[in-house]
Amino acid sequence: MTDPKRERPTDAQLAILSVLWTAGPATVREVHEALPEASKRGYTTTLKQMQIMAEQGLVERDESHRSHVYKANVVQSETQGRLVDDLMQKAFGGSATRLVMRALSGKAASAEELAEVRELLDRLEGERQGGTR
């Protein structure tokens, strides 16, 4: 089995993980029904994908119930961090600035989102200055 902490989920696996991160432990049927239409294939495709994910360590399967219950075995923020780091290296030459500028120019950010970005920038700036804020 590969290390799930290093595993890069496919788009289909990421859709399944997103359901499990949001809903918590769920059966294959519950995950399948919660998938966005664009990600939805046949039930057996979802089942097979989740079985593969269990083999890879991305999800854990609880077999104590009649219908097996799956839960995410990887942390959402860590997985997102690896995906963003990978994207930043491959598409933006390692530049966080170019990544952020593109993300913010790609769609209109709400006032709340911009406030969160400002707060993060202020916090990072404070940490870089040795916490003297």
Structural domain includes residue 133: no
Q: Domain total for the chain?
A: 1
Cβ contacts of 30-36, under 8 Å, gap ≥ 24: 31/70
**Would you place residue 104 in the very low, low, confident or very high pLDDT band (cuts 50, 70, 90)?**
confident
Q: Which domain holds residue 11?
A: 1-94
Q: Is the pLDDT of residue 4 over 70?
A: no
pLDDT, average across residues 2-19: 84
Structural domain includes residue 88: yes
Residue entry with tokens 């030459």:
93
Structural domain includes residue 120: no
Structural domain includes residue 58: yes
pLDDT at position 133? 46
Structural domain includes residue 103: no
At 9, which CATH number?
A: 1.10.10.10
pLDDT at position 132? 53
